[in-house]
């Protein structure tokens, strides 16, 4: 059975014009793009999306970063979409991400890590509903 996951292309990747390369890599990995839109998060929207991190020290810098430019939100679909997309993204720190992963290829550092993907089926449903 196919499942869906949310993917975000973050402002740092868009500023470097990597969005086309990232989308190409996603398609090459066998994902179907079911929906896609570009938007600029407001501070309120970013705070709502990342509320789970509210008490963490990186919360405010994350909000500032995610509102610093446009993002692209995508609904991706395939068998095992969540696990497969997380594997395609690679580890949060691009220095320790495997060769060929999105973060190894396009991320700058742990905060400016190019992409986001849902970490569970429950969160995928919530995150997709947030953007679509």
Burial 88-117 (b: 16+ CB within 10 A, else e): bbbbeebeebeeebbbbbbbeeeebbbbbb
Active site residues: 116
Given a cut of 90, whether residue 1 has pLDDT beyond it is no
Only one residue has tokens 């993204």, namely 89
Q: Give the mean pLDDT of the chain.
A: 97
Average pLDDT over residues 54-76: 96
Q: Is the model more confident about 1 or about 23?
A: 23
Domain tally, the chain: 1
CATH code for the domain of 25: 3.30.70.141
Percent of the chain predicted with pLDDT > 70: 100
The whole-number pLDDT of residue 96 equals: 96
Distance (Å, whole) CA 47 – CA 120: 20
Q: What is the pLDDT of residues 95-112, one digit of tens each?
A: 999 999 999 999 999 989
Distance (Å, whole) CA 81 – CA 73: 15
Segments forming the whole domain that contains residue 64? 2-131
Given a cut of 90, whether residue 60 has pLDDT beyond it is yes
């Amino acid at each position: 059975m196919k499942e869906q996951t949310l993917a975000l292309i973050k402002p740092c990747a868009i500023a470097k014009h990597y969005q086309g390369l990232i989308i190409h890599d996603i398609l090459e990995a066998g994902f179907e793009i079911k929906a896609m839109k570009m938007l600029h998060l407001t501070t309120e929207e970013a705070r709502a999306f990342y509320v789970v991190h509210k008490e963490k020290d990186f919360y405010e810098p994350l909000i500032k970063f995610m509102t610093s430019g446009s993002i692209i939100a995508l609904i991706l679909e395939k068998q095992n979409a969540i696990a497969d997309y997380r594997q395609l993204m690679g580890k949060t720190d691009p220095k320790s991400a495997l060769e060929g992963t999105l973060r190894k290829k396009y991320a700058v550092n742990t905060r400016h890590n190019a992409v986001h993907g849902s970490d569970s089926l429950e969160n995928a449903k919530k995150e997709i509903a947030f953007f679509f």
